[in-house]
Structure 1
Amino acid sequence: MSTLVRPQSGAMIAGVCAAIANRFGWSVTLVRVLTVASVLIPGPQVIIYLALWIFIPKEK
């Protein structure tokens, strides 16, 4: 497992999904699909995504 950083390449919006996928060794596409699916149900998902965007450091 690698560290949790938002990658410079492969990021679509902010790189949050790519960072999570890289950290846990999952498919980036799977994480993106799950993120979009979770936004369709009520809850604080968008706020959590924005918080992760702020708190996960960008790759150097």
Structure 2
Amino acid sequence: MNEALRLRAEIARLEVDLESLRRQLFHLQKECAHEFVETSLARTCSKCLQTESLYY
């Protein structure tokens, strides 16, 4: 039982960390002077890795 509680606590901590990292990535991508590399399906910035689909 204690193992299950420990795992749930670890999951909660990781979810908080993940949200913080997502905010950091969003800010980095928002401020980036993108240099896109295009394929037939997507284009990806070589600096910040923001990807946009070209397939609609």
Same fold (TM over 0.5): no
TM-score under structure 1 length normalisation: 0.29
Between 1 and 2, higher relative CO (CA 8 Å, sep ≥ 6) is seen in 1
